[in-house]
Structure 1
Amino acid sequence: MWRAALVVCQLGALAQSLWAQEDDVPAAAVTPQDCNLDCIRQGGAGCEYCRITRSDIKQALGFNSIQAFGSCIPWPCFELLGEEDPQICRHYVQAPNDVKVESVHEPKPSSDTIVVSWKPSYYGIAFLRGFQVSLQALGGSTIACQLFLFHRNLSLPATHAQRVYKSDPFPGLSLGTQYAVTVMALPVPEEWERFYHSQTFSTRSCAEKNGLERCKKDWYPEHVEVQQEGAAINVTFNLAPPNLGIRSYFSLCYANGMKKYTDITPKSSKNRTHHTYQLDGLQEGTNYTCEIAANEVDAVRKSFNVWVLRIQKEDATTRHVTPSLALILPLCLAVAAILVVLLAALVRGRPRLQMKSVHVRPDNIRQHQEIASQEEMVSLPRSRLTPPRLLICYSSFDGPAHVKAVMQLGAFIQQHMATQVCLDLWDSLGVAEEGSMGWHCRQIRESDFVLVICSRGLNHRHEPPEPEGDDEGEEADKGLNFGPHAFSSHAAARLVGEEVGRAKARGRDLSKYMAAIFEYSEETDIPTELRLASHYALTSDLPLLFSHLHGVALHRPGGYLKINNISEEGYAKLPAGAALQWAIYEAGMAMRAKRPQTV
């Protein structure tokens, strides 16, 4: 008896191993079929997994779907399958998983084609009626959508959760672009979540699809060779193919704060595949980091290193000293004799010369010394490896002209004052992810300095409208046409004022916090707490702001710091400075126009 039981156990184990082997064999992917809606509704055998076209939508509903949405419509299960039995579209189906995106062959070199694949979820698979796949470019309005349905009599078993289903190709996608793909399980219930799976992907770049030799935007020199012959540094690189139309290149080398820019224009008559150019003016014993690229907008740069070796000159001098000694020695003796004769003549004629004293006024000497001392250079300290980080807070109650002036100030400081500027208007995505106050609190902690642009609106306190009466509520709504984060920087500015007050009460350093006003604002616009910190009037105090940010003294014994780009007279000569000057002028006009209305 026990032998029979043992045989049965062994047969069961063998059967389980065979079933496991069968499960491990990957099933072929299920691709869409061409079938009509009548076949799907009647449950025909040849309509297991069908694509729905715009013509099917028109036949079933009597109108064409929106061109941008392809064959997708709202509530496709109820509209196309639920007329006879609405209950089949009221069950829970969880989102697909293992969503993958693969590129397929696309004959056009300027676009890409992808196919989406996925697996259905175990949960609710028996009630699964189909899938809807949508594709949208990130930051754009391009939308493509595909709809796939099972016939009404099909009920998938749990084992089909390992099957891979595929979409039709999505053609004509832009190269090097990010897209978001969403795979939705049908039916779509109102009261449940997790019925779709969404992820982002990037299409292939031009170089990945067509090869580097066919892409002007992505091309860069792949082969760079550096050779030093004496004091000359020769660099050889491969030229771009003639079909790309690249005629000139540039090279940039930098080390220890020094930069060397070289324009390169090869002559196609000499060599069409490689070109050699010479780097001049490099210091011996210095390791340079160099970049070379085509002279095109946003060209990809190839980096390489150049180590300039020191030239040994001892051997050359010793070889030339011996043969020339016989010629130099007589020449030196002749020169010495001439000098002796001239010296004797000067000594004899000295008593005959009349001494003439010249009286020099002491104030002229001091003036000359002051002029010489003012021309001395004052170098910035190099202890900081990265530029200081500055957070700018402001009030948006003074209108868009004031906000524009703040933006232009941030751009000028970042371009010409060696400072990294943090502004909420430049990081909308980060503000949306963290929340406006969360973003500002983190920036206050991480920034080296915080600058509050004070204006008349900074002292404005927003009060919610009282719910008494409909007219008052409507008037309040008219004055609040801002977004949910419109006053976030205004609240952060008041938060900085509270931080300054606490730091002063605890005896801590206040150099991190600063306040500033534009020409159209008054010093009384600075809140009381912020007057404890350093405050400046812009744009006349740009040098003082630069001194605060970099910790350098504008004046010292024998010298002073002057930078033409940020002086009161010279900043407007720069494009960013002219834009800042004009923005301040427009904001001042807008502020003066508002004042009679608010009095």
Structure 2
Amino acid sequence: MWRAALVVFLFLAPCQHVWAQEGAITPQDCSLDCIKEGGPGCEYCRITRADVKTALGFNSFKEFGSCIPWPCFELLGKKDPQICQHYVHGPNNVEVEFVNEPNSESDTIVVSWKPSYYGIAFLRGFQVSLQALGGSSFACQLFLFHRNLSLPASQSQRVYKSDPFPGLPLGSQYAVTVMALPVPEEWERFYRSRNFSSRSCAEKNGLEKCKKDWYPKHIEVQQEGTAITVTFNLAPPQLGIRRYFSLCYANSMKKYTDISPNFKKNQTHHSFQMTDLQEGTNYTCEIAANQMDAVRKTFNVQVLQFLKAVSTPHSVSPSLALMLPLGLSVAAIFVVLVASLIWKTRLQMKKVYIKPDIIRQQEESGTQEGVMPLPRNRPTPPRLLICYSSCDGPAHVKAVMQLGAFIQQHMATQVCLDLWDSLSMAEEGGMAWHCRQIWESDFILVICSWGLNRRSKPSEGDEDDGADERLHYGSNAFCSEAAVKLIGEEVGHAKARGQDLSKYMAAIFDYSDETDIPTELRLVSHYILTRDLQLLFSHLHGVALHGPGHYLKINHISEDGFTKLPSGAALQWAIYEARMEITAKRHHSVGNEGD
């Protein structure tokens, strides 16, 4: 009886209108008799709660918690048990499509996919589930083929679609899973999952209709003397934003300006003056609505330096009788000096004669140092997620933490590290937190080590270790290692599809070997730290280290210069401690093997 109850939640999705695109297979309204008998017109059918009540004899539960892959046995396997005993590989090309709807506070999606040709002849249907990351919201839809249908391998390019999933709050993260039916007991590749985010209010409704996402788009800076005038566009009146603020900072100095526009004078733009700024200084400024968690618009202010005329007091002119002898003496001294310089120059030219073509060749071969500005098309610093393995001991974890602190402080990058976000991990769950960070981050850096590579390739003697891991599934360490495996799969999929791999990076500290990098991560850029800090900076900010007539030189991230900073010295000491600890462990393990 309880097994039948578990099946109930599979059929919670109500009947929806068909949202289709040309060439896609969309769900049909069918009867259970048509599905069981294999009649015409019921090739791809949605299962409703009414169908469940008809089949099981009682109403289904409104909430259950997860989808159980048994509908094939319950609905098709009673007459012919063999029909539900063959495995089917998980679907491919799972995509999420947003559907236009009038509700401005939620989104509606439709999921599409292609069946795999592995086991396609035994395919009996699909199950689509939607899970809110970090929450309890859950939805599930079930679609079945009639029992006589057998698809050939050529049908693996057909696109199947789900019914709409309505009412998704804007700006939320979800995981959608498409499962192929039937599901055997011992098979792991029967589903495909992908994470996505519902659209923000600005993406769906436009920036001018969203108070939380609104920010000034047009900013103009003018300087007259030492006065700086800033003009920006105001929010639409219907958003109710009445006050703004500006914050400028440079050389450890901050300048805050509270802005209260006069809406009776102008309802579209406002100008304000910034005072007490130092001349010859470049300021980075932000302007935003004076609201909680308002989006800030960044702009730059370059305060020009003006030379002030030096006034001298009027002096009494000396008499001509005194000025004439003095002027003649100065002229004579000047003539003597010029003559001596000309004579010395001729002597030097006689001693050393350098050909003009040699001088020209030397000038052309010399590398000229120039200024290479960073790209300014990014409004916020790049977001970097660091993943690692804690199997190499606390010293290795400390080195990772010091590396994250150094990158965030001195490489203009926002670092996401599970060690720093324990509260969010407790609220969302470790795996959900990592999935969200992988989705939202601009770059992902995997710190490879001996322990990480060992975990990714378990041996037969590691069965007990695997049991211990299952006991501590909620720990941050296990979730981080699981996230690394997920990243490796994403890299493999992106490589197979010919997509850009610049989001993913791998790195090792100098006490690890390049063989510690897992095979799938060798497809991406990998660095040795701290030797390649400048290469890592170049990757994060998209700036070349060398260019025509100039090169990138940042002293505090060079191989020798980073130790002059407090966080750089702490990073170097943490790497040294980790090296000593790991070396001692390896010598100990080698000694035990010898005994």
Using the size of structure 2 for normalisation, the TM-score is 0.51
Of 100, 115, 130, which aligns to 1:135?
130
* Residue number in structure 1 paired with 2:73: 78
CA distance in 2, matches of 1:28, 1:211: 31
CA distance in 2, matches of 1:310, 1:241: 37
Deviation string 1:239-276 (CA, Å, 9 cap, x unpaired) is 00111111111100000110001111111111000000
Matched, 1:308 2:335: no
* Residue number in structure 2 paired with 1:198: 193
Cα separation, partners in 2 of 1:65 and 1:217, compared to 1, 3 Å: same
* Residue number in structure 1 paired with 2:233: 238
Deviation at 1:102, TM superposition (A): 1.0
Q: How does 1:96-495 map to 2 (within 5 A)?
A: 96-314=91-309, 424=419, 426-427=421-422, 428=425, 429=430
Deviation at 1:208, TM superposition (A): 0.5
Native 8 Å contact 1:137 1:180 kept in 2 = yes
CA distance in 2, matches of 1:213, 1:430: 35
Matched, 1:43 2:25: no
Code of the aligned partner of 1:190:
E
CA distance in 2, matches of 1:129, 1:423: 41
CA distance in 1, matches of 2:79, 2:431: 49
Deviation at 1:431, TM superposition (A): 12
SS at match of 1:44: coil
Cα separation, partners in 2 of 1:100 and 1:287, compared to 1, 3 Å: same
Native 8 Å contact 1:120 1:163 kept in 2 = yes
**Max Rg structure:** 1
Deviation at 1:44, TM superposition (A): 1.5
* Residue number in structure 2 paired with 1:61: 56
Cα separation, partners in 2 of 1:235 and 1:201, compared to 1, 3 Å: same
Code of the aligned partner of 2:225:
G
Deviation at 1:484, TM superposition (A): 6.9
CA distance in 1, matches of 2:117, 2:418: 47
CA distance in 2, matches of 1:249, 1:166: 46
Q: How does 1:441-590 map to 2 (within 5 A)?
A: none
CA distance in 2, matches of 1:485, 1:164: 37
CA distance in 1, matches of 2:87, 2:40: 25
SS at match of 2:25: coil
CA distance in 1, matches of 2:200, 2:63: 25
Cα separation, partners in 2 of 1:62 and 1:74, compared to 1, 3 Å: farther
SS at match of 2:29: coil
Code of the aligned partner of 2:184:
P
Deviation string 1:284-318 (CA, Å, 9 cap, x unpaired) is 0000000001111111110000000112443xx78
CA distance in 1, matches of 2:204, 2:476: 46
* Residue number in structure 2 paired with 1:527: none
* Residue number in structure 1 paired with 2:332: none
SS at match of 2:148: coil
Native 8 Å contact 1:424 1:431 kept in 2 = no
CA distance in 2, matches of 1:145, 1:83: 23
CA distance in 1, matches of 2:432, 2:22: 45
Of 9, 16, 23, which aligns to 1:28?
23
Deviation at 1:277, TM superposition (A): 0.7
Cα separation, partners in 2 of 1:235 and 1:432, compared to 1, 3 Å: closer
Deviation string 1:183-223 (CA, Å, 9 cap, x unpaired) is 00011111222011111111111111000001111100000
Cα separation, partners in 2 of 1:176 and 1:74, compared to 1, 3 Å: same
CA distance in 1, matches of 2:71, 2:182: 8
Code of the aligned partner of 1:44:
G
Cα separation, partners in 2 of 1:135 and 1:433, compared to 1, 3 Å: closer
CA distance in 2, matches of 1:104, 1:422: 35
CA distance in 1, matches of 2:68, 2:42: 20
SS at match of 1:207: helix
Cα separation, partners in 2 of 1:304 and 1:97, compared to 1, 3 Å: same
Deviation at 1:87, TM superposition (A): 1.1
Cα separation, partners in 2 of 1:225 and 1:55, compared to 1, 3 Å: same
Native 8 Å contact 1:71 1:146 kept in 2 = no
Native 8 Å contact 1:52 1:71 kept in 2 = no
Code of the aligned partner of 1:195:
F
SS at match of 1:67: coil
Code of the aligned partner of 1:49:
Y
* Residue number in structure 1 paired with 2:322: none
* Residue number in structure 2 paired with 1:525: none
Native 8 Å contact 2:234 2:270 kept in 1 = yes
CA distance in 1, matches of 2:210, 2:228: 30
Native 8 Å contact 1:72 1:146 kept in 2 = no
Cα separation, partners in 2 of 1:71 and 1:136, compared to 1, 3 Å: closer
Code of the aligned partner of 1:293:
A
Unaligned runs of 5+ residues in structure 1 are 1-25, 330-413, 415-419, 435-441, 446-481, 489-547, 552-599
Cα separation, partners in 2 of 1:423 and 1:100, compared to 1, 3 Å: closer
Deviation at 1:70, TM superposition (A): 11
SS at match of 1:108: coil
Cα RMSD after superposing both structures: 3.8
Code of the aligned partner of 2:93:
D
